[in-house]
A and B are shown apart, each in its own frame.
Chain A
Amino acid sequence: MAHRPLSPHVFIYRFAYTMALSILHRATGVVLSLGIVLLVAFLMAVAAGSESYERFVHFAGSVPGRIVIAACIMVFCYHLANGVRHLFWDLSWGMERAQARRSGVIVVVVTLLASALLLWVFLARGAMP
């Protein structure tokens, strides 16, 4: 491993919530990578026929299943909303500190609203057929 000078370590900076949002984008991304397994399992269950699909629905309706689905929904909403924020940054839009903080708040609000809606659709409305 090459020995290069290390930039100042993250913990010397005063904490700002935009830091938490930043690392959360990574964390949610990794969780969503695991979520792909769930999506593929769902598709394979549908492809394999009604019996395997019923088994999937049975799991999805159980308490652990509901927790996993709820987590995936919230994590998906956050990663999507914050991803849009990143795309705007790539266009060098909204890079000022005040703008970045404001867009961070918008991302959190959008995440909460979208998650609430999707949680209602997929859990409260009844995932059971």
Chain B
Amino acid sequence: MSDPARALSAVLGRGSAHEGAHHWRVQRLTALALLLLGPWFIVSLALLPDFSYVSVRGLLSGACNSTLLSLLIACLCWHSQLGVQVVVEDYVRGAARMATLIVSAFLHVLLAALGVLAVLRVAFAH
């Protein structure tokens, strides 16, 4: 994909962008990761004695939990980005499509950054 004209016609919907297999694979890979990380987080929350600030902060502050939680956020945002991309490509037409895809990508990266930063703030708080 070195020829810009070819790349442009590919993204304009005039042929394969040759990224389908990679998109598909990462979507499944993140799904598999979320299958482990999602239930882990839900069960961890559910097993808390209560949802007080101290309990919740305690859950989020361990090194192991912060690591897993950061991975959860990263996988969630990645998986979500791939899914939303497919939905947009299927239903949004014309110039709005590219604009929506760009906004979606930016928002997903923003969410991932905010989420991981929040986890790190809790992890590194004294």
Contact = CB atoms under 8 A, between A and B. Distances in A.
Interface of A: 1-2, 26, 29-30, 32-33, 36-37, 39-40, 43-44, 46-47, 50, 53-54, 57, 76, 80, 83-84, 86-87, 90, 118, 121-122, 127-129
5 contacts: A33-B84, A46-B122, A84-B35, A128-B51, A129-B50
Contacts, number: 89
B111 A37 contact: yes
Nearest to A32: B80
- State the majority secondary structure of interface residues on B: helix
Nearest to B24: A90
A2 B16 CA distance: 13
A128 B50 CA distance: 8
Interface size bucket, B side?
Answer: 35 or more
A2 B122 CA distance: 51
B6 interface: no
B28 A40 contact: no
A11 B64 CA distance: 50
Interface of B: 13-14, 28, 31-32, 34-35, 38-39, 42, 45-46, 50-53, 55-57, 60, 69, 73, 76-77, 80, 83-84, 87, 93-94, 111, 114-115, 117-119, 121-122, 125
* Shortest Cβ-Cβ A-B pairs, 6 listed: A129-B52, A43-B118, A47-B118, A47-B121, A40-B115, A33-B80
A46 B14 contact: no
Contacts of A50: 53
Contacts of A57: 51
Contacts of B73: 36, 39-40, 43
A129 B53 contact: yes
Given A57-B51, A87-B31, A87-B32, A1 B93 contact: yes
Given A83-B31, A121-B46, A127-B51, A44 B87 contact: no
A84 B38 CA distance: 13
Contact of A44 (B50, B52, B118): B118
Contacts of A54: 53
A61 to B, nearest CB: 10
A53 B55 CA distance: 12
